[in-house]
Amino acid sequence: MSPLKAKSNHVTIVDVATTSGFSPSTVSIVLNEAPLSRYVAAKTKERIRKAAKDLGYRPDAFARSLRNRRSHTVGVLIFDISDPFCTLILQGIERCLDSTAYLPIIMDAHNEKKQFEGYLEMLMERRVEGLIVVANWLFEEGGLLLNLRRNNLPTVVVGRDLSTDLISSVVVDNVAGGYTAMEHLYSLGHRKIAVIRGPEKLGDSNLRWQGIQQFAAEHNYQLDPRRVRLLPEALDPTSGFEGGVAATEDLLRSAADFTALLAFDDLTALGAIRALILSGRSVPGDCSVIGFDDVPPAAFCTPGLTTIRQPMEEMGRIATGWVLRAVQGPDTEDAILPPMQILSPQLLIRESTSRV
Amino acid sequence: MSPLKAKSNHVTIVDVATTSGFSPSTVSIVLNEAPLSRYVAAKTKERIRKAAKDLGYRPDAFARSLRNRRSHTVGVLIFDISDPFCTLILQGIERCLDSTAYLPIIMDAHNEKKQFEGYLEMLMERRVEGLIVVANWLFEEGGLLLNLRRNNLPTVVVGRDLSTDLISSVVVDNVAGGYTAMEHLYSLGHRKIAVIRGPEKLGDSNLRWQGIQQFAAEHNYQLDPRRVRLLPEALDPTSGFEGGVAATEDLLRSAADFTALLAFDDLTALGAIRALILSGRSVPGDCSVIGFDDVPPAAFCTPGLTTIRQPMEEMGRIATGWVLRAVQGPDTEDAILPPMQILSPQLLIRESTSRV
DNA sequence: TTGTAAGCGTTATCAT
DNA sequence: ATGATAACGCTTACAA
């Protein structure tokens, strides 16, 4: 016989009722430990529980939800599960949900807008009570927002500021991050700093650049345009690596030399390191490199990558906390729910940066 | 007003029926494009569809599944979503499911047996039609199996051989992988090869070691025990990194020198490289290093890690294909479903290995 | 302290 | 070519 085969023959609450000799309602009340179960005789409870266990009774989530109008689920829409950035946020969401009766329904849009919409529809059909959207670096603002608005459902976007009157968001302070990265390099004595900016269309990209410029302005440091490159638009989140390699090679070919490189994100930084090493330079000996995010590979490489850490797990937790509050509290003080939270990034010094 | 707030007021099939002027049954038939819809007048269809669209009707998945006894979902039980090994398999599963009407319900056990069992129960309550278990490196055989047996549900385990009469599995050929890794190093001229084995309790670990020994025996190569280390048992899948660092440092302290190192997996290899570099050695100049798995960080580090690649996405696809077949085909030729499939690993040469 | 009955939104079966 | 009705398994008023 093949190992794969099944014939479902489920035990229902009626079976438990007849076996135990009580009515379905009593069984329901006992098994759910509903308020009314306080008035049920201890012996009755015992017999019911025994019958349920013996029969291997498992309540049908569909029937239950259909009846009481609660799905006890929150939808989690992500854009690419292979993106470590997503993964860590997911962990935060799951950890936060673990202690509740809520279940995440995770859907991965595979970086395709079409899928995003389809999955959103599926989540609605499954009557999720709240929605968390993990926006990765190619979530283009605007378009998808419209579809979200129609379903008035507690919604939190994490990783991108898309707050509206109906949607909350939790993001990292990209401006502060850019500022801090620049500050770190500058304070190590670097005065010839190359910058690889993120794709122009990307919101994060410009905010980080803003922070970089701000630091420069405050310290009378001239950002030489010859030392600045722009990552091309791209779909694949790991394309930052190749982008980093290419941008750095281009930088190396140019006339302007540099002793430090500030990359848009970790993958870009890792690509930069690859190019630097291949060109015969050492990191951080000949050139310091700093990234942004603190995705796992940043810690596993040698030298370990100095980076601006986003508290991704915490972001997931916060987002989850919000939707839970919106979902559980009936309509209590809505005002306590902030439309947007900006978390501080943190400088994480490893081995890829050093004094000039 | 706070952005988080909702008041669900769902449109039902009855609403569509009254608005369009037809009965719920006809609406159902039309909207589902059921066989009977062949006999429904074109104009009727049109009016019904228009009404549904205008009202924003969305069928209730709970009611539907309750009625027709099909959840159209498959449960996916993973052990750690932050483990890149898991992630890639998940991608395969999702991609394979995308083209079907099935939805994955993903649950992450966070490396805890307790959670595993709880989530398994939840999946059963949600009436998943099939189950895929992604076993990562700490899925201890035996224990959890028992719970799986009771629910006779098409089940496939990927990443660990747990085949029984009720469970299929898809795994990589670990013996061949170990053999190939050894062969690669040997063919580059290495004769002083250090080996960091995986935790003893881990099935994979011993199979890979078997392959290594087999190659050695066939080529009259002596595996010097002084050049062999064992990774400690551990919970965290990323602990391989620290384990690799520690084992390598220990190896370096010992009398026996080596020109190549074969690591249990990629993270271990990355840890080994870290230790090697810190000790002043270069990779692959002074020591070649080979890993196993081909997780993303292996490609982003410099030097890129030579490794034995597991076709993880394909494994996910195959597993999914099996449960789909078991689920969709009523009870057609069960015999075509193999109880276990062993995929060949592939040597992926990057820059961390070179001729001695 | 427990039972009865209605109904959640759908779809399958049977009528018309 | 379309409609009426029952039933999926559960919870919750309300009744006893």
Please say whether the beta carbons of B294 and B266 come within 8 A: yes
Q: Do B214 and B224 belong to one domain? A: yes
Q: Do the Cβ atoms of A81 and B60 come within 8 Å?
A: no
Chain C nucleotides reached by a protein CB under 7 Å: 1-5, 7-13
The residues near B118 (Cβ < 8 Å, ≥ 6 apart) are: none
| B355 lies in some domain | no
- Which of A8, A121, A241 is closest, CB to CB, to B300? A241
Query: What's B167's domain CATH number?
Result: 3.40.50.2300
Range of the domain at A194: 174-309
Structural domains counted in chain B: 3
Question: Which range (A211-215, B232-236, B238-242, B317-321) has the least confidence?
Answer: B232-236
Query: What's B52's domain CATH number?
Result: 1.10.260
Summarised one tens digit per residue, pLDDT across range A67-84 is 999 999 999 999 999 888
Q: Do A158 and A202 belong to one domain? A: no
| B6 lies in some domain | no
- Tell whether the model's pLDDT for residue A234 goes beyond 90: no
At B338 the pLDDT is 64
Q: Do B52 and B83 belong to one domain? A: no
Measured CA to CA, the distance from residue A78 to residue A239 in angstroms comes to 18
At B148 the pLDDT is 66
Q: Do A286 and A201 belong to one domain? A: yes
- Tell whether the model's pLDDT for residue A1 goes beyond 90: no
Residues of A in contact with B331 (CB under 8 A): 5
- What pTM, to 2 d.p., does this model score? 0.91
- Tell whether the model's pLDDT for residue A190 goes beyond 70: yes
Q: Do A43 and A33 belong to one domain? A: yes
Summarised one tens digit per residue, pLDDT across range B125-166 is 999 999 999 987 666 655 666 666 666 788 999 988 877 777
| B354 lies in some domain | no
Q: Which residue is nearest to nucleotide D12 (CA to C1')?
A: A25
Q: Do B322 and B282 belong to one domain? A: no
At A162 the pLDDT is 77
Q: Which amino acid does the sequence have at A195?
A: V
Summarised one tens digit per residue, pLDDT across range B175-193 is 999 999 999 999 999 999 9
Terminal Cα-to-Cα distance of chain B (whole angstroms): 70
Residues of A in contact with B63 (CB under 8 A): 62, 66
Measured CA to CA, the distance from residue A348 to residue A265 in angstroms comes to 13
Most confident range, picked from A166-175, B118-127, B262-271: B262-271
Query: Which residues does residue B337 pair with via DSSP β-bridges, in sequence order?
Result: none
Q: Do A160 and A96 belong to one domain? A: yes
Q: Which residue is nearest to nucleotide C7 (CA to C1')?
A: A67
At B272 the pLDDT is 98
Please say whether the beta carbons of B81 and B108 come within 8 A: yes
At B232 the pLDDT is 94
Measured CA to CA, the distance from residue A240 to residue A242 in angstroms comes to 6
Question: What three-state secondary structure class fits B145?
Answer: helix
Protein-to-nucleotide distance from the CA of B290 to the C1' of D5, whole angstroms = 69
A267 touches strand D (CB under 7 A): no
Please say whether the beta carbons of A76 and A104 come within 8 A: yes
At A146 the pLDDT is 65
| A65 lies in some domain | no
| A195 lies in some domain | yes
| B232 lies in some domain | yes
A-chain residue closest to B296, CA distance: A297
Q: Do A304 and A180 belong to one domain? A: yes
Q: Do A290 and A192 belong to one domain? A: yes
At A148 the pLDDT is 66
User: How many Å is the maximal CA-CA distance in chain B?
Assistant: 89
At A335 the pLDDT is 43
| Cα–chain center distance at A113 | 17
Summarised one tens digit per residue, pLDDT across range B285-318 is 999 999 999 999 999 999 999 999 999 999 999 9
Q: Do B245 and B221 belong to one domain? A: yes
For B5, the enclosing helix (H) or strand (E) is: none
Measured CA to CA, the distance from residue A118 to residue A116 in angstroms comes to 5
Please say whether the beta carbons of B97 and B106 come within 8 A: no
At B14 the pLDDT is 95
Of A25, A59, A93, the position where a domain reaches its end is A59
Summarised one tens digit per residue, pLDDT across range A335-346 is 455 678 999 999
Q: Do A280 and A159 belong to one domain? A: no
| B304 lies in some domain | yes
- Tell whether the model's pLDDT for residue A299 goes beyond 50: yes
- Tell whether the model's pLDDT for residue A140 goes beyond 90: no
At A311 the pLDDT is 97
At B162 the pLDDT is 77
Question: Average pLDDT for residues B252-260, to the nearest whole number?
Answer: 93
At B150 the pLDDT is 67
- Tell whether the model's pLDDT for residue B275 goes beyond 70: yes
Residue A177: pLDDT band with limits 50, 70, 90: very high
**Joined tokens for residue A51:** 């019958």
Percent of chain A with pLDDT over 70: 91
Question: Which range (A329-343, B74-88, B174-188, B206-220) has the least confidence?
Answer: A329-343
Residue A328: pLDDT band with limits 50, 70, 90: confident
Q: Do B27 and B107 belong to one domain? A: no
At A2 the pLDDT is 36
| A356 lies in some domain | no
At B250 the pLDDT is 97
At B253 the pLDDT is 95
Distance from CA of B214 to the nearest CA of A (A): 31
- Tell whether the model's pLDDT for residue B355 goes beyond 70: yes
Measured CA to CA, the distance from residue B13 to residue B25 in angstroms comes to 9
